[in-house]
Structure 1
Amino acid sequence: MQPKQIVQQWVDAFNQGDADKIAEFYSENAVNHQVANQPVVGKAAIKQMFSNEFSNAEMVCIVENIFQDGEWAILEWKDPIGLRGCGFFQFENGLIVLQRGYWDKLSFLKAHKLPIPSE
């Protein structure tokens, strides 16, 4: 299966809010770096991250574009409340080894009425 197709399946699992299903897309030592946060390393930690996020906010990913370049897929997305972002997924042997996401964390926290951390 091509990276572009795998990302579409990842989006389907994301929209189901299923952390177990999402975790299956990652290699054991994968890194998920949502650049507004610290990198999360390892399949188990990534699963826990998604589990926490799904319990904090109802999130929906609407695909605008999925591009593929070799072992990379790029997801451009929006959600029903107007947030937008993009994600870069690197694959090895059909599994995500690196994911990097770009989105506006402050807008996300405000839109979902979540606490804004003080720094």
Structure 2
Amino acid sequence: MKNKELIQNWVKLFNDGNAELIAEMYSDDAINHQVANEAIEGKTAIKQMFEKEFSEADMTCIIENIFEDGQWGILEWKDPLGLRGCGFFQIKEGKIVFQRGYWDKLSFLKMHNLPIE
């Protein structure tokens, strides 16, 4: 599977709010670092992160662009509320081993009426 297809599948599972299946896309020792938060290490912790986030906010990822470069896939996205961001996925042997995301956390918290830390 090409990186672009893997990211398209990731977006579908994200939009479905399926923490179980999205976690299966990561290697056992993967790292997910959303720069507005602390890095999360390991598939189990990544699943727990998604479970928590999906329970707190109704999130939708609309693909604007997906780029591929070797082991990397790059997702440029927006959501229906106007938030924009991008994600970088390092993929080895069909699994995400590292993910970094950039987005405006303050705007996200305000849009979803969540407490500002």
Report the TM-score, using the length of structure 2 for normalisation. 0.99
Q: CA deviation at 1:49?
A: 0.1
Aligned residue number for residue 14 of structure 2? 14
What is the alpha-carbon distance in structure 1 between the residues aligned to residue 25 and residue 97 of structure 2? 9
Residue of structure 1 in register with 2:99 after alignment: 99
* Alpha-carbon RMSD: 0.3
Residue number in structure 1 paired with 2:50: 50
Aligned to 2:40: 40
User: Identity of counterpart residues, as a percentage?
Assistant: 67
CA shift, 1:48, in A, is: 0.2
Q: Deviations over 1:40-66 (max 9, x none)?
A: 000000000000000000000000000
Report the secondary structure of 1:48's partner residue. Answer: helix
| Runs of 5+ consecutive residues of structure 2 not aligned to the other structure | none
Query: After TM superposition, which residue ranges in structure 1, 4 or more long, deviate above 4 angstroms?
Result: none
Residues in 1 aligned to 2:66 and 2:59: alpha-carbon distance in whole angstroms: 19
Segments of structure 1 that go 5 or more residues without pairing to the other structure are none
The CA deviation at 1:98 is: 0.2
- TM-score normalised over the length of structure 1: 0.98
User: How far is the alpha carbon of 1:25 from its aligned partner?
Assistant: 0.5
Deviation digits for residues 41-95 of structure 1, max 9, x if unmatched? 0000000000000000000000000000011000000000000000000011110
Partner of 1:82: 82
Secondary structure in structure 2 of the residue aligned to 1:37? coil
* Distance across 2 between alignment mates of 1:28 and 1:4: 21
